Structure 1
Amino acid sequence: MGTPAGSASAPQDTRTGWYRLRLLTFYRLVLTSLLAVFYFFLRDSNPFGVQDHELFRSTLLVWLLFSLAAVVVTRLEQPAYRFQSLLQILADIGALALLTHATGGISSPLTILLVITIAVGALLLPGRMAYLFAAVASLALLFETGISLLALHNTDIGSVTRAGLMGLVLFATAALAHVLAIRLRDSEALATQRGIDIANLQQLNQYVIHQLQSGIMVVDGHGLVRLANEQARKLLGLKSTEGRLLSELSPALSSQVSRWHTNPALQSESIPADEANTGFTLRFARLDTAQGPGTLILLEDDTLLAQQSQQLKLASLGRMSASIAHEIRNPLGAISHAAQLLSESEQLNGGDKRLTEIINIHSLRVNEIIESVLQLSRRSASQPQDLILGEWLRLFHGEFIETEGADAARLMLEIEDDSLCIQSDPGHLRQVLGNLCKNALRHSPADAMVYLRVQASNTEAIRLEILDSGPGIEADVATHIFEPFFTTEKSGTGLGLYIARELCELNRAHISYHRRDEGGSCFRIEFAATHD
């Protein structure tokens, strides 16, 4: 999410310190270069009032070489920052003290440069070190004044007073610079913390937006897409959107936005997406930003809404099935038990025994219907996983042959691409395929083959087809086969395909029936493709 402020403070201070130290080295290099130019090229006019040319020249050249070396080592950031800062400030104080002595002592115009050096030192190493620099510079001035007095170099007793006053100026400079350094440090720490907070908030916003199940898209006043989360790109079938015109990416969506701008009360229509049998519904909101007005587009996946509706429907069915279990199953058990006891009576003739058998048979059938309905109420919520379909089908094939005792030679796999990956609850998919495979084997001739075929469609969906060679289903009947309790068999409950459809919709898949041209049936399940 971002670097916490506590862990970022010290590195940030060091980065700022190195930056300031580099500025000091640049300032020192410019200063020494200018001093050298004025001294050597205007030597006849003696602009600095140099009295000891040998000392001035030697000190200036050494200070210039030190400035060049400081530029290099500061770039390398070796040795440590604190050591370099301390060494450079003390070196500057020493060099300026020598130059001051060579140019007439405390009355030299170069003395003012010590004030700048102390101020810079207080910014680089605030706190007690600032006062140390002021103390060293003051002592250097007093020492220089004392030497000048002893040597009687045109120095009077007033020079001591001026040196003392300059020392006070240096200490005042250190104090002011120390206060300024503290405020600068606090301001930098606050700015750093604000930057971290903003970065954390931005990352959090990005995470929330990209984890939303709804598509989010932001379009500016010029029609450029500024933001689009993964779900929006998925619904629109796009890989990259930022900085591109909405009219180029999706003309239909751009048209809807234009219509909404014209009439904000207008309700949008559902727009088909690129995935098979899916679409999305739009909602719009106006955004006012510093860059001008914009539009927030919310894309609701129709399949997700259908899935939520399906879960509500299953919950209602669960409550109904609980009532069925209480109101019907108990009386049914009593009827079945009474019929069984009656059938054991020795006084019944053949016709009466046949009637009791009919009662038992139909009691069992009603019980099967109740069990199927209760199975829906006990349905667990979908827990989709990424499944490599070819690999998963091979495992399913082995389990199905073993548990159902089917002939392995009759159930064949045709897998176009082993890398195709889907998202589905493996338990739900196993139940759907188990029911479809049992139906296909039951309705096909004893020597006919049943195929499980996997292939990618031209709409980027993945198709799983169950193909048999049975009689097929008539068109007028095929429209009702997924309805609950619809069956063409005397012993069927009419809930198998209905449950299969409910489970497919719960996993955002679509199941459909197609009659094969060569005869037989094809049940097709279409999944949205994912990337392994």
Structure 2
Amino acid sequence: MPASRIINNPAEGLKHPRDLLRLFFSYHLFLAFIFGILFHFDLPPEILGSQDPKLYAIVSLAYLVLVLTSGMLIALKTLSYERQTDFAVFVDIAAITLLMHASGGVNTGLGMLLLVSIAAGSLTIRRHAALLFAATASLAILAEQVFSHLYHSFPTTAYTQAGLLGASFFAMAWLADVLSSRLLETEKLASQQELDLANLAQLNEYIIQHMQTGIIIADENGQIRLENEAALNLLGQPETEEQASLDQAYPALSSQLEQWTRNPEYEPQIFRSSEAGRDLQANFIPLGSDEQIGTLIFLKDYALVTEQLQQMKLASLGRLSASIAHEIRNPLGAISHAGQLLEESPQIGSGDKRLTEIIRNNSQRVNAIIENVLQLSRRDRTQFQKIELKPWLKNLATEFRQNKNLDPGNLTVQTTPKNTLILADPSQLRQVLICLLENAINHFHQDKCKLLLQINSGIFPESGGGYIDVIDNGPGIKSGIARQIFEPFFTTHTTGTGLGLYIAKELSESNRVRLEYTPVPTGGSCFHISFSGLRKKVFNE
């Protein structure tokens, strides 16, 4: 997922005061246009410019020019918003005071417009200049009244109204200061909560993406809203930015979700996202309380579940094997030795020799079973490595031919493409393949020169996972017993232990690969080993 920066400073989330400054500018511009339009088109009220029309015309035009200049400064951001606010408020105080004088003085009520300017300036700058604005406006009103009195501009004085207006300026400044403080605290709290939620969402996303359990979130319409990298890895899908529907991307999973939606008691089954995909187990959890707004899907690699069960079985098997070695192997050794002494005795007859032969053969068979059980219990932890199949399989085939005295034609290897890579434990994979090859030889009852063994390997195009097929031309396995061949102690051979294929299956599962039997239509058997695709991250390596 893309790296996200977690914000630690709440001030980073606050809205810039320039938003308030733009709103203040809009008020100025409206006021300047209204002053000019009402005067120049002789619209009511008639008091505008009634005492000094020339002064009113000059000031209203200058006011409009200064407001437009203020708007240009805001757009260019050449000054800080504090200086721009100071400029706008002082322009208001000067312009409205002169327009008030030109219209008849304090009694016109135009001075009340300065209350809006003082309040807006106080809210924008926040406590820095509220009293300064109120004091400047009060002095301007008083100065206008004193000037009018000294030069007899108006027949009556209005000192009382001027004083009350000045007091209202200070009251407005105080109220604006209190309101500004509360708004600031509220804004900081809201911003902090917003940042906490954003950081929590980023933290949750980071945790989800790095979980080893596959996570998918689907909405009520079956649309995928989130899937972490573990889910993509388990499902064998490439990472894409586009959101797809669950039934299009993963039909098998969507089918299980539909069954669970209809019946919450439904127990999800093991499924595969593709023919060559992994065995997966899904768990569904509804999102939302009153009505379902989506579903949280947990995906687990069933091979990991079985591996944990195997570890538990091996722990029990290890304790059991110690008892087997002591309680069975020692008496078995005595039986075998006694049978050997009887066989060497000169007094034994030909009929009794057959009995000693049975004792020897079955003693060897039981000893082989004990060896297999001990080998299984002592198995080392799986060490995953990348294996290039073509040279690795050729070396294994060459060694097997030499050990079994086979001709090159009896065992062939083919890998397509040549650079096929898999992830497995080389030692355990070798043991699996040797077991399958030996099983084919043991059940081949014709002349050894007619034996044909093939090891074919390659890559599944849809998932990118590798596979190995071990094919023989033997008698094959009857369909009625095909499901039993991987069970322990099941054998159709009189001298077999019934543990070879079971051990091969156990080793395959510990390598998180699937071992299956597939009949060959032309005769013979095929044991198919399928591997998961190699991705950027391999979990639990």
- TM tier, shorter chain? 0.7 to 0.9
Equivalent position SS for 2:115? helix
Q: For residue 186 of structure 1, what is the amino acid of its counterpart?
A: E
- The equivalent of 2:350 in structure 1 is none
Residue 41 of structure 1 and its aligned partner are, at CA, apart by 1.3
**Any conservation in 2 of the 1:122–1:129 contact (CA below 8 Å)?**
yes
**In 1, Cα distance between equivalents of 2:268 and 2:246:** 26
- The equivalent of 1:70 in structure 2 is 70
Equivalent position SS for 1:294? coil
- The equivalent of 1:48 in structure 2 is 48
**In 1, Cα distance between equivalents of 2:140 and 2:224:** 63
- Mark the CA change 1:67 to 1:282 in structure 2 (over 3 Å): closer, same or farther: same
| Residue number among 320, 328, 353 corresponding to 1:323 in the alignment | 320
**Any conservation in 1 of the 2:216–2:296 contact (CA below 8 Å)?**
yes
**Any conservation in 2 of the 1:50–1:103 contact (CA below 8 Å)?**
yes
Residue 55 of structure 1 and its aligned partner are, at CA, apart by 3.3
Q: Equivalent residues in 2 for 1:432-471 (5 A)?
A: 432-439=428-435, 450-456=454-460, 462=465, 464-469=467-472, 471=474
Residue 64 of structure 1 and its aligned partner are, at CA, apart by 1.2
Q: Equivalent residues in 2 for 1:218-367 (5 A)?
A: 218-219=219-220, 224-225=221-222, 229-230=226-227, 240=243, 256=259, 259-260=262-263, 267=266, 270=269, 274-276=273-275, 287-289=288-290, 293-294=291-292, 304=301, 307-309=304-306, 311-325=308-322, 327-330=323-326, 351=344, 365=368
**In 2, Cα distance between equivalents of 1:172 and 1:485:** 98
**Any conservation in 1 of the 2:474–2:523 contact (CA below 8 Å)?**
yes
**Any conservation in 2 of the 1:17–1:81 contact (CA below 8 Å)?**
yes
Q: For residue 374 of structure 1, what is the amino acid of its counterpart?
A: S
- Mark the CA change 1:149 to 1:472 in structure 2 (over 3 Å): closer, same or farther: farther
**In 2, Cα distance between equivalents of 1:520 and 1:480:** 17
Q: Does 1:500 align with 2:504?
A: yes
- The equivalent of 2:139 in structure 1 is 139
**Structure 2 residues without counterparts, runs of 5 or longer:** 347-352, 442-447, 537-541
Residue 373 of structure 1 and its aligned partner are, at CA, apart by 2.5
Residue by residue over 1:444-480, the C-alpha shift from the partner in whole angstroms, topping out at 9 and shown as x without a partner, is: 779967434224277x584612234453643366544
| TM-score of the superposed pair, with normalisation by structure 1 | 0.73
Q: For residue 467 of structure 2, what is the amino acid of its counterpart?
A: L
**Any conservation in 1 of the 2:306–2:509 contact (CA below 8 Å)?**
no
- The equivalent of 1:20 in structure 2 is 20
- Mark the CA change 1:456 to 1:305 in structure 2 (over 3 Å): closer, same or farther: closer
Equivalent position SS for 1:128? coil
Q: Does 1:152 align with 2:152?
A: yes
- Mark the CA change 1:457 to 1:49 in structure 2 (over 3 Å): closer, same or farther: closer
CA RMSD after TM alignment: 5.1
Equivalent position SS for 1:482? coil
- Mark the CA change 1:281 to 1:501 in structure 2 (over 3 Å): closer, same or farther: same
Equivalent position SS for 2:378? helix
Equivalent position SS for 1:138? helix
- Mark the CA change 1:496 to 1:180 in structure 2 (over 3 Å): closer, same or farther: farther
- The equivalent of 2:171 in structure 1 is 172
Q: Equivalent residues in 2 for 1:376-387 (5 A)?
A: 376=379, 378-379=380-381
**Any conservation in 1 of the 2:52–2:103 contact (CA below 8 Å)?**
yes
**Any conservation in 1 of the 2:85–2:125 contact (CA below 8 Å)?**
yes
**Any conservation in 2 of the 1:271–1:279 contact (CA below 8 Å)?**
yes
Residue 322 of structure 1 and its aligned partner are, at CA, apart by 1.9
Equivalent position SS for 2:118? helix
**In 1, Cα distance between equivalents of 2:141 and 2:421:** 82
Q: Equivalent residues in 2 for 1:397-408 (5 A)?
A: 397=393
| TM-score of the superposed pair, with normalisation by structure 2 | 0.72
**Any conservation in 1 of the 2:215–2:297 contact (CA below 8 Å)?**
yes
- The equivalent of 1:368 in structure 2 is 371
**Any conservation in 1 of the 2:307–2:510 contact (CA below 8 Å)?**
yes
- The equivalent of 1:481 in structure 2 is 485
**In 2, Cα distance between equivalents of 1:287 and 1:272:** 27
- The equivalent of 2:109 in structure 1 is 109
- The equivalent of 2:12 in structure 1 is 11
Residue 401 of structure 1 and its aligned partner are, at CA, apart by 7.7
**In 1, Cα distance between equivalents of 2:326 and 2:253:** 59
Q: For residue 377 of structure 2, what is the amino acid of its counterpart?
A: L
**In 2, Cα distance between equivalents of 1:165 and 1:6:** 48
Residue by residue over 1:397-456, the C-alpha shift from the partner in whole angstroms, topping out at 9 and shown as x without a partner, is: 58858998989x8664423596x998x6x33xx345312433466557799674342242
Q: For residue 458 of structure 2, what is the amino acid of its counterpart?
A: V
**In 2, Cα distance between equivalents of 1:144 and 1:403:** 113
Residue by residue over 1:246-268, the C-alpha shift from the partner in whole angstroms, topping out at 9 and shown as x without a partner, is: 9x9999568636754xxx7x646
**In 1, Cα distance between equivalents of 2:531 and 2:375:** 26
- Number of residue pairs aligned between Structure 1 and Structure 2: 497
**Any conservation in 2 of the 1:454–1:463 contact (CA below 8 Å)?**
yes
| Residue number among 510, 517, 524 corresponding to 2:514 in the alignment | 510
- Among all aligned residue pairs of Structure 1 and Structure 2, give the percentage whose two residues are the same amino acid: 26
- Mark the CA change 1:365 to 1:452 in structure 2 (over 3 Å): closer, same or farther: same
- The equivalent of 2:416 in structure 1 is 415
Equivalent position SS for 1:85? helix
**In 2, Cα distance between equivalents of 1:331 and 1:142:** 116
**Any conservation in 2 of the 1:225–1:245 contact (CA below 8 Å)?**
no
Q: For residue 139 of structure 1, what is the amino acid of its counterpart?
A: L
**In 1, Cα distance between equivalents of 2:119 and 2:384:** 66
**Any conservation in 2 of the 1:215–1:235 contact (CA below 8 Å)?**
no
Q: For residue 195 of structure 1, what is the amino acid of its counterpart?
A: E
- The equivalent of 1:93 in structure 2 is 93
**Any conservation in 1 of the 2:417–2:458 contact (CA below 8 Å)?**
yes
Q: For residue 41 of structure 2, what is the amino acid of its counterpart?
A: F
**Any conservation in 2 of the 1:307–1:508 contact (CA below 8 Å)?**
yes
**In 1, Cα distance between equivalents of 2:223 and 2:476:** 51
